[in-house]
């Protein structure tokens, strides 16, 4: 039996993930080097400590740990996170634990978007979030970036254009640290300018930040959330952070911080979608933090990835033609290449696959109708350093 004609409009409009489909076309090709996906290295998974913490939590926390839990998330984990992040004057009701940041972003979208509302995002941006905004029937307007992040003048122009055309802008979505897909980090000054502008025009910010701990050089930059906090603007910024890139995406643990009002609404969505996050895993992460394992883990992950990142940036210098430009990330997992005008990275993908190297064409990171084609994303967290170098060499040779 088929019921597709009964599907909701939002469901009927949904496609499968283009990136997953593309990556699937490279599976099983012997000797292929994939610089395409965004998976963390399995070598970053701390199985022993995670297993030990799980065991302790299940055997020592009492029966409640295997019962339904609190929709707002585990209090012990929240306590640890507030200490860890040094959040000032934050109550438990201003934080929500979620099943990965994907869920937090979805709840935020559910909280704000009516069909036809405008969401502003960076060009390019993380497709996983863009599709969840589109599923709520939002119109996406992407704003150019430079090497300091989103372009404030272009952002002002887009906001003014929306006002003139009677469009409602609901929020701005940004990934300020080691952005997926470009690797760009928004400068401190740009973050301050952004907070000032958005407070003035009264448009909230969704700050998605799964990569900030993966820093291999340079100084940490305060989150947009913290900058807004210093100006007493709680609620202007909702920050979402995830354990996926530090402990493992399979755990599905993340959290959001914002005003009590916004977190309360997001929590109501969580109640409907999930009842609660997985209690055992939440408490396992709390235990991991109580045992001071998180600092150690971040050190291990950064030591692991530093040679991967060096291999990528060195290989690009050594092999790429002069006409190709790329970003210079100080951490994270991705670098963004801009090819000469007229070169189509979607076509290059097919040729690259024949030469046994894979990447994600840049067009996949723009909202529909706003695609650019002379760009691509390379990942440096999965293939090993030698393979990264060889993969870049193969790619450069076909360029």
Ligand X SMILES: Cc1ncc(COP(=O)(O)O)c(C=O)c1O
Per CB under 6 A, residues contacting ligand X are 38, 100-102, 126, 128, 175, 180, 208, 210, 242, 244, 249, 254
Residue nearer to ligand X on the CB measure, 249 or 391: 249
Q: How far is CA 216 from the centre of its chain?
A: 18
Residue nearer to ligand X on the CB measure, 171 or 389: 171
Q: Count Cα atoms within 13 angstroms, Cβ side, for 178.
A: 26
Residue nearer to ligand X on the CB measure, 175 or 289: 175
Crossing angle, helix 47-60 and helix 279-290, to 10 degrees? 110
Q: How far is the CB of 125 from ligand X (least distance, A)?
A: 8
Q: How far is the CB of 318 from ligand X (least distance, A)?
A: 28
Residue nearer to ligand X on the CB measure, 102 or 327: 102
Q: How far is the CB of 3 from ligand X (least distance, A)?
A: 29
Q: How far apart are CA 281 and CA 273, in angstroms?
A: 18
Q: How far is the CB of 30 from ligand X (least distance, A)?
A: 27
Q: How far is the CB of 31 from ligand X (least distance, A)?
A: 26
Residue nearer to ligand X on the CB measure, 210 or 361: 210
Q: 264 exposed, middle or buried (CB, 10 Å; 0-12, 13-18, 19+)?
A: middle
Residue with smallest beta-carbon separation from ligand X: 100
Residue nearer to ligand X on the CB measure, 57 or 333: 333
Residue 142 has which token pair? 């992407």
Contacts (Cβ under 8 Å, ≥6 apart) of 240: 98, 101, 104, 105, 108, 206, 207, 208, 209, 210, 254, 255, 256
Instruction: Kindly give the pairing relationship between strand 254-257 and strand 118-123.
Output: unpaired
Q: How far is the CB of 64 from ligand X (least distance, A)?
A: 26
Residue 339 has which token pair? 């090819």
Instruction: Kindly give the pairing relationship between strand 169-174 and strand 205-208.
Output: parallel
């Amino acid at each position: 039996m088929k019921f597709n004609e009964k599907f909701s409009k939002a469901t009927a409009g949904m496609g499968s993930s283009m990136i997953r489909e593309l990556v699937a076309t490279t599976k099983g090709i012997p000797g292929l080097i994939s610089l395409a996906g965004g998976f963390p290295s399995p070598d970053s998974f701390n199985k022993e400590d995670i297993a030990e913490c799980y065991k302790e939590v299940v055997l020592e926390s009492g029966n409640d740990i295997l019962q339904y839990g609190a929709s707002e998330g585990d209090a012990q984990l929240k306590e640890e996170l507030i200490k860890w992040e040094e959040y000032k004057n934050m109550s438990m009701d201003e934080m929500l634990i979620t099943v990965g940041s994907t869920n937090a972003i979805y709840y935020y979208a559910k909280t704000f978007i009516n069909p036809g509302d405008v969401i502003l995002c960076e060009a390019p941006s993380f497709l996983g979030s863009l599709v969840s905004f589109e599923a709520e029937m939002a119109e996406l307007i992407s704003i150019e970036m430079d090497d300091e992040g989103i372009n404030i003048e272009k952002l002002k122009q887009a906001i003014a254009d929306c006002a003139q055309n009677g469009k409602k802008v609901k929020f701005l979505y940004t990934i300020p640290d080691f952005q997926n897909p470009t690797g760009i980090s928004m400068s401190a000054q740009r973050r301050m300018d952004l907070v000032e502008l958005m407070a003035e025009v009264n448009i909230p910010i969704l700050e998605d930040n799964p990569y900030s701990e993966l820093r291999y050089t340079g100084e940490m930059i305060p989150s947009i959330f913290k900058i807004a906090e210093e100006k007493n603007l709680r609620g202007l910024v909702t920050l979402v952070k995830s354990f996926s890139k530090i402990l493992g995406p399979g755990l599905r643990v993340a959290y959001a911080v914002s005003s009590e009002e916004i977190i309360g609404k997001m929590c109501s969505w969580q109640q409907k979608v999930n009842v609660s996050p997985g209690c055992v895993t939440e408490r396992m992460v709390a235990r991991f933090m109580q045992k001071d394992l998180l600092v150690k883990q971040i050190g291990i992950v950064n030591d692991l990835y530093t040679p991967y990142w060096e291999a990528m940036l060195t290989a690009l210098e050594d092999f790429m033609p002069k006409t190709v430009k790329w970003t210079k990330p100080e951490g994270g997992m991705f670098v963004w290449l801009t090819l000469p005008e007229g070169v189509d990275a979607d076509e290059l993908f097919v040729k690259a696959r024949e030469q046994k190297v894979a990447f994600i064409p840049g067009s996949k990171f723009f909202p529909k109708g706003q695609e650019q084609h002379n760009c691509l994303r390379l990942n440096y967290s999965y293939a090993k350093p030698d393979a990264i170098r060889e993969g870049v060499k193969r790619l450069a040779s076909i360029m």
